[in-house]
Amino acid sequence: MAYRLLTIDVGSGTQDVLVYEEGRTLENSIQLILPSQTVVLARRIARATAERRPLFLWGRVMGGGPCVGAIADHLRAGLPVYATPAAAKTIRDDPAEVLAMGVEIVEEPPRRDAVSLELKDVDLDALAQALALFEETLPDQYAVAVQDHGECFGESQRRFRFRHWERFIRAGGRLEALAYGPGEVPPYLTRMAAVQELLPGALVMDTGAAAIHGALLDPVADAERTAGLIVLNLGNEHVLGALVQGDRIYGIFEHHTHLVDLGKLIELVREFREGRLSNDAVYADGGHGAVIASDYPGHFHFVAVTGPRRALARPMEPYFAVPLGNMMLSGAFGLLAAALERRGLPLPNGS
């Protein structure tokens, strides 16, 4: 039976979906750019706010961003919000912080008139319904990318997340180490664990890691791996840079997109290339941090850019990576590559 895989790169604005089927060309595969679940949930919460109805949130920890903003708006409107302990972690890891916002943590909906909303990063039922209209079915194998800050108490979430990248670089920075199968997710990466609970057997990755892996599928970017290159993923919420040579990542920096203009991006890339970008400097500027291996050989000049906000880098005249012909599916293709590598299967289209 042909191998089939559903890959979903979950961002703050979109979820980028690829249905891969062995033997079908990627050009003829199902490819979808849809609103992410946090955007969908935010719209449903806003509708409940307009209707002046209480909220009951249940399910699992998922991406925050838009939906947490909508929850805050609901509370500011003087309307009640109830959440199960697991769902409350989407708002904050620490229950005391959730309670301080005005959310009541409960096991069951206390009011019959409450709008009940399930929190989850992937809605398989919705995807299955959409595909069924076109006589298509979903695979039962999954690979999903989410950005997981990690479960964090009593310290900066930005610092906590970036220590994960620091451990990765100190452990050798191997690309294959960025994907987690069942039983491999570090215990503090609760959002990835929630995806695997929802989709048993799923391969999971960080969105930044998936984008790096995907960008390297572009033949021009791939040709620079021997000399070394910088890969930039300019996402809707985060800017992530990686120093890549061969199958090793020598350094990573991560910042927030809304804090980075062209001048700052040029400066970040210059200092990163030269091995001088400081963890403390990026953090003090509102980003997550930077880490560069002590044996970084230095001065990777080629810059490959991907991500929905890539136009920011256009004046720098970088190379815009188009892996397998579709930039918006960089993360989904990165997930596909990681899954196929684990199964010992070749990448499609001769890539």
pLDDT, one tens digit per residue, over 145-196 is 999 887 777 677 788 888 889 999 999 999 888 899 999 999 999 999 999 9
Task: State yes or no: pLDDT of 114 exceeds 60.
Answer: yes
User: Looking at residues 243-271, what average pLDDT do you find?
Assistant: 96
CATH number of 37-119, picked from 3.40.1130, 3.40.50, 1.10.3470, 1.20.1070: 3.40.50
The reported pLDDT for the residue numbered 349 is 59
Rounded Cα distance, 40 and 15, in Å = 11
Phi/psi at 341 (nearest 5 deg)? -60, -40
How many residues does this entry show for the chain? 351
CATH superfamily of 223-321: ATPase, nucleotide binding domain (3.30.420.40)
H or E element at residue 114: none
The reported pLDDT for the residue numbered 350 is 44
Task: State yes or no: pLDDT of 305 exceeds 70.
Answer: yes
Domain range summary for the chain, segments of one domain joined by + = 37-119, 223-321
User: Looking at residues 51-66, what average pLDDT do you find?
Assistant: 95
- The pLDDT confidence band at residue 312, using thresholds 50, 70 and 90, is very high
Sign of CA dihedral 267, 268, 269, 272: positive
